[in-house]
Structure 1
Amino acid sequence: MSAISLLCIVILAGCSGQTIPVEEGGTAAVQPALSGANLSKGPLSFPTGFMTSVKTYGAVGDGVTDDTAAIQKALSDGRSNASGDYYGVPKALYFPPGTYLVSNTLQWVGCCVTLQGSGSSSSIIRLAPDSGGFNNTSAPKPMILTPLGNQSFRQNVWDLGLTIGSGNPGATAITYVSNNIGSIHNVFVKSEDGKGHAGIDLTQHYAGPLMIRNTEIQGFDVGIDLQNAEYSATMEGITLTSQNIAGIRNSNQLINIRGLTSTNKVPAITNSGGFVVLLDGTLSGGVATVPAIETDNTMFVRNVSSSGYEATLQDTSTSTPTLHKGTLTHLVVGTPSTLTGTASSTNGLDLAVQETPSFTSTSLSDWAVFTPKWYGDTSGLQTVLNSGKHTVYFPFAAYFSYNEADVTVPDTVDRIVGFSSVVNTGAGTNGGGIRFVVTSNSTQPLIIEQFGYGIKIDHRGSRPVVLKDAFITNYESYPGAGKLFLEDIGINSFNIQKGQQAFVRQLDNEISATKISNLGGSLWILGLKTEKAGTVINTASGGQTELLGGLIYPAVPVSSSQPAFISTDAQTSYIYKESVYCSGCGYSIQVQETRSGVTQEITSPNNKSFRMPLFVGYK
């Protein structure tokens, strides 16, 4: 997501109604660079009752009163199930404008919690100076701790400032795990005295797949700290300044970054054993004895510059270290692959990228609320959609639809927001849930966001559709469907139609079947994680697919005849790694490419992990 579009994820007071424009797609040799974070400071305006406020539990937010107990009470309310199974009963808390002083770790039980602020400089959680337990650099302690493990789904931190007061050298602003989907966005993380372990700590099992976007970190030993092979992190619009050891320190993780601005004397990125995709980086402030990037393993770099440093990148992956200086238009650390011998081996398909659109309403009077008459009532939803309002919202809650509710979205609606709600489904018609049908040919994008699950989409018209911060139960496209934008999304199998363009950031798919079928469109992906067997992407009929950073994790036996990636008379490039932990639980055929009836394959042992630094198909 672009830094500009993030300004309008939530409604700004007095902001005029608009959608961030997008440009036409295609193939381009040089992409416009994306810079780092462009934070929305706030205060952001929300409709009354959209979410429960922490002030309901006694938090004051005056910067003087210790709000630790009140905020912890809010986080713990209704969270007594030791199993941590809260998939169908999510929790969301609003931090109105103010500074919330805390003196101990804030934490909770179970998945699916959203902390929603009113802007990165408007709603601030601040660790008091010299707080007890935060002074031991050998035993870092977080101000915010999400649940750990691999069922910590949909943990979100949005539109907040996280500040560490002076005298807390062992503090981490947030130790963060979210699985499948979940994001930190429009967040400003700061150490007041520059000390502290990390701004964002992703070193716990099993962080990701997740997204960090439009986020700025000042100070700390490390801005973003990562390790462990599973799962992955996708970042877009990141600013790092004044770290003491490294801006980003990565060990073993797959990370995908677009739009990194770093001002540091230490390396912007250190990569030890990991796999890094970096697009659009401006790395400045360095010293002549230190490289901007240090790596001993796989990297793909495109459009990255440095100033002040010894070199832009130091590659120690071989016995002879190599320094790469100046602007790196494109560089692969690793061995690229191709089956034709005629394709470029260092840059991939290089599709033109479009930023995710966002919509802002003119005022809160332009919002329409969906209020069911009872749990399970959806009869009034079409009337709300037809109200002429530009934003339709579901106040945070658990909704229910026993029979599938099919509603048509008119041109007047530009945004449907669920505020982290879920739609529980029944055993009725089509398995229940809410299906939004888009038949319009409007050029104005339709944004549907912040639903835990229970939402289905029929994309029938040429109107662009944006889906973000959600698990989408079903997305069906039809011939003539417009552009599709997916951002921090879990989804089942879906198709890209011939001529359709799709732009994807942080996608999770865990279905035992072909996961994505590109039937002749243009598909650009930054960050993909899959589980279970089945072809990951099948591209045909002149389609274009560019995958920039994928974690393929079957976790079950895979048929020896099942390719991970298939292309037939199409143009493709892939960057990914495969994790394999049992015999036969990997793909024997990594890439299968057919051109004019001739099929070639790249194979690998199906009992060992595999890395693809870059595969370039026909261009």
Structure 2
Amino acid sequence: MYALVFKVLSYLPCLLLISSISGCNEHSSKQSLDLGIAQATQILDENKENIIYPKSSAVIDVTGAEYGAVPNDGKDDTRAIQKALSRFPNRGKIIYLPNGVYNISDTLHWPRGRRFASDYKRTILQGQSRNGVVIRLNNDSPKFQNPRKSRPVISTGFDPDLNRSSRDFKASLVAQRFGNSVRNLTINIGKNNPGAQGLNFVANNQGAVRSVTIISEDRKGKTGLELSHGEIGPLLVEDVEIIGFDRGIRTKNGINSITMQNITVKEQNRVGLYNGGQVLSLEGFTSVNSVPAIINGRNPHRGKDPGGTLTLINAKLIGRTRRAKRTSAISSTGFIYARNIISSGYRDILSSNARQAKKRIKGNKIDEYTTRPVLAKFPSPKKSLQLPIKKFPKIAWDDPDKWVNVEDFGAVGNDGKDDTVAFQAAIDSGATTVIVPRKGTFTINGNLRLRGNLRRFIGSTGGLNGKGEIVADNGNHSTLIVEDFFITHKSKLKWKNITNRTVVYRSMSDFDLESKGTGDVFIDDVVMGKLRLLNPKQSVWARQLNIEGYSQTNIINNGAKLWILGLKTEGGKTKIDTRSGGFTELLGGLIYAAGRQKPTDPIFRIRNSSASFAGVAEAFFDKDTYKIWVEETRGNRTKKLMRQRIPGRTTANGQALVLYTGYGG
């Protein structure tokens, strides 16, 4: 009981801030606080957020003596947190904040390091809990007063004090910001900081904003979540709420794609979400606003856009006040695929001013809508496949005293010797959580089984290499989570799944997976070379799936059910081959056609199976791209959807496929 009370009390700083935002009187404040405590208890029970690492994990605690941040004391923690961030450029470190309020007066930014080598990458800012950790900008902070020169409270991709014409700043625009993440915390920009951005986030290939709240106490501020610096993405934004600001979220640039799920924006001054040209895949979106919920395109009133491609699934758009009744919930001049959208309080639900797609949809519901005609080569329904959508699993974090570390069983990083026996001993010890610390690269040359009592196999961005295999096997728990691993590029290490339980692969780079199991599989913010689904009884959900590879077909779905939210590809060869009666639904993606593509290789292949592809855009810069987008076979007949049939986007020389359906009615 005392432990629960302590945890609830750790949420009080954030609850008090929320109370101050609401402007409560004494009576309502007490009611709000009582309700807040009850909600905090519920959050602890439902979301199970109490993330504490053991000391042996090599996680960097900003409250440690070496850094000296002290939460809840009202003093400035900027220098202490920045010291922890700056010490480890490109080191894959987790910078950890225990619960409490951390007051800051200037931008916290990722370490610069060496240009093109270690700058602004592989750094994770991790809170103990979303509601318990608050990074709060001091009121009236001098550097955050000019909205025309807005400045981030947290910046993962650049130092805002760099000269914009310097070589260092120009280097920060290149798509090399691998593995950055911000997780489980609240960012509060305080009061009277009109030039503040809450979080300016940059990641490439793999990286995520997870379980984050971004608040402006007086609703001022430029942007809550800024996604616009240079060649941004692919990246994931998941379970994020933004309150206040002129714009809740802003994206920019035509590459390299952004995936979002479970997003809430409230009480913005200009727009909830502004998509300025990105390939954006969004499922689960709520907006409560007097302004447009979504603007898709730089200037929807003039019909000009660089090729913004929005895939929007399951959205609730609530208009408040008379101002909302004079505008559309969604204004667009780009490409849109929309499904299951409801609205209230707006003049109409969608207004499109795009070329060849001028349309206004009145009423308060969209079942399914495309800005361009649905394409098909065989008779098919004019709607997407609509496979079931499952929530990505989360499980409670164990008490750190109950974790085991592979080093305690004899594993040694960077010695080049096989660590399989040590890893297996740790897994078979009976512990439910096994950690691989960020202390070099460990070698797996044998057959490693994830079995028994194991339910979380966590890398803390630890490195793996070798020529063995890591097999997800049956065990005592219904769900196994494998997360935060960095596998050496071009490693021969194989990952396999043969289990009947649910397996989640999360926040991982450079791994291949062969799955023969019957349990559900979730693939979450990963870089892969190839994915092989070999069991027709299996269902797979993937989001922010970055597939890179040139030598062979990247994804083969041999009879399974595969749902993807947000795909980014790079290189040649076919990207998804669905065969043997399989089902594949793709909701949003960017085809980055780098390198040479054979004229006979389609992007997507369907062989006597069912598939639909929505919101897929293309980018290429070397005058060599795919000629065939879809090759579909039914019976002994094969037909091809050629590139010239697909509408062009003005960004990155590419095309945009709004919806292709390839399945029987």
TM-score range, shorter chain: 0.7 to 0.9
Q: Which residue of 2 aligns with 1:407?
A: 448
Give the match's secondary structure for 2:148: coil
Cross-structure match for 1:292: 329
Are positions 1:613 and 2:658 aligned together?
Answer: yes
Amino acid at match of 1:484: V
Kept in 2: contact 1:348–1:573 (CA 8 A): yes
> Is residue 578 from structure 1 mapped to residue 618 from structure 2 by the alignment?
yes
Q: Retained in 2: the 8 A contact 1:578–1:586?
A: no
Distance in 1 separating the partners of 2:73 and 2:266: 25
Give the Cα–Cα distance (whole angstroms) in 2 for the partners of residues 421 and 216 of structure 1: 30
User: In 2, are the aligned partners of 1:313 and 1:325 still within 8 Å (CA)?
Assistant: no
Offset of residue 354 of structure 1: 1.8
Q: Does structure 1 residue 383 correspond to structure 2 residue 393?
A: no
Cα distance between partner residues in 2 of 1:542 and 1:43:
43
Q: How far did residue 330 of structure 1 move?
A: 1.1
Q: C-alpha separation between the residues in 2 aligned to 1:461 and 1:122?
A: 36
C-alpha distance in structure 1 between counterparts of 2:273 and 2:189, whole Å: 19
Q: Post-superposition shift, 1:548?
A: 0.5
Q: 1:394 and 2:428 equivalent?
A: no
1:439 aligned residue: 473
Give the structure 2 partner of residue 185 of structure 1: 210
Residue identity opposite 1:582 in structure 2: D
Match of 1:457 in 2: 495
Other-structure match for 1:17? none
Q: Which moved more, 1:49-58 or 1:129-138?
A: 49-58
**Contact 2:319 2:325 (C-alpha < 8 Å) held by counterparts:** no
Three-state SS of the structure 2 residue aligned to 1:561 is coil
Length-normalised TM-score, structure 2:
0.81
Residue from 252, 258, 268 that aligns with 2:283: 258
Whether 1:594 aligns to 2:639 is no
SS in 2 for 1:266: coil
Cα deviation 1:150-175 (Å, max 9, x = unaligned): 11001010011111011110110111
Q: Does 1:354 align with 2:390?
A: yes
Read off the aligned partner of 1:258 and give its amino acid letter: E
2:347 equivalent to 1:310:
yes
Q: CA offsets per residue over residues 486-526 of structure 1, 9 Å max, x none?
A: 01111111211141211111100110021101111111100
Deviation at 1:453, TM superposition (A): 2.1
Whole-angstrom CA distance in 2 between matches of 1:543 and 1:373: 41
Tell me the residue number matched to 1:603: 642
**1:83 corresponds to which residue?**
none
Q: Residue 530 in 1 paired to residue 580 in 2? A: no
**CA–CA distance in structure 1, aligned partners of residues 129 and 535 of structure 2:** 40
Q: Structure 1 residue 365: deviation in Å?
A: 4.7
Counterpart selection for 2:556 from 517, 532, 542: 517
Q: Is the 8 A contact 1:361 1:390 kept in 2?
A: no
Q: Which residue of 1 aligns with 2:519?
A: 482
Deviates more, 1:550-559 or 1:60-69: 60-69
Contact 2:566 2:588 in 1 (8 A): yes
Q: Distance in 1 between matches of 2:560 and 2:56?
A: 42
From 52, 72, 78, the counterpart of 2:82? 72
Give yes or no for contact 2:514–2:533 (8 Å, CA) kept in 1: no
Pairs aligned (count) = 564
Write the mapping of 1:12-27 to structure 2, written as runs, cut at 5 A. Answer: none
Compute the displacement of 1:404 (Å).
Answer: 1.9
Q: 1:143 touches 1:173 (CA, 8 Å); kept in 2?
A: yes
Question: How much does 1:410 deviate?
Answer: 1.6
The correspondence of residues 537-576 of structure 1 with structure 2, limited to 5 A, is 537-575=576-614, 576=616
Matching residue's letter, 1:508? N
Determine the C-alpha separation between the residues in 2 that align with 1:280 and 1:90.
35
- The amino acid that maps onto 2:632 is E
Are the structure 2 counterparts of residues 63 and 267 from structure 1 closer, same or farther at C-alpha, using a change threshold of 3 Å?
farther
Please give the residue correspondences for 1:211-360 in structure 2 after superposition, counting only pairs within 5 Å.
211-272=236-297, 273=305, 274-286=308-320, 287-318=324-355, 320-340=358-378, 342-345=379-382, 347-360=383-396
Tell me the SS of whatever aligns to 1:359. coil
Distance 1:189 1:94 in 2: 18
Q: Which residue of 1 aligns with 2:197?
A: 172
Amino acid at match of 2:556: S
Q: How far has the Cα of 1:369 moved from its partner? A: 2.5
Contact between 1:205 and 1:230, CA under 8 Å: does it hold in 2? no
Distance 2:387 2:365 in 1: 20
Q: Offset of 1:362 from its aligned partner?
A: 5.8
Q: What code does the residue aligned with 2:281 have?
A: N
User: Paired residue for 1:95?
Assistant: 97
Query: Which residue of 124, 130, 140 corresponds with 1:120?
Result: 130
Q: What does the per-residue CA deviation read over 1:521-572, in whole Å, with 9 as the maximum and x for residues that have no partner?
A: 1111000000010101011111111110010011223111111111110111
SS in 1 for 2:621: coil
Distance 1:144 1:446, change over 3 A: same
The match for 1:506 is 544
| Greater relative CO, 1 or 2 (CA 8 Å, sep 6+) | 1
Partner-residue secondary structure (3-state), 1:74: helix
AA aligned to 2:348 is A
Note if contact 1:277-1:548 (Cα within 8 Å) is conserved in structure 2: yes
What is the rounded CA distance, in whole Å, between the counterparts of 1:68 and 1:134 in structure 2? 15
**TM-score, normalization: structure 1?**
0.87
- Look up the equivalent residue of 1:380 and give its one-letter code: A
- Cα displacement (A) at 1:187: 0.6
- Whether 1:47 and 2:54 are equivalent positions in the alignment is yes
Name the aligned partner's letter for residue 330 of structure 2: I
Distance 2:501 2:459 in 1: 21
Question: Structure 1 vs Structure 2: percent identity of aligned residues?
Answer: 32
Aligned to 1:209: 234
* In 2: Cα distance, 1:135 partner to 1:178 partner: 27
Asked whether 1:448 is paired with 2:467, we answer no
Q: Which has the higher helix share?
A: 2
- For structure 2, list consecutive stretches of 5 or more residues without a partner in the other structure: 1-6, 9-42, 113-118, 158-171, 298-304, 647-651
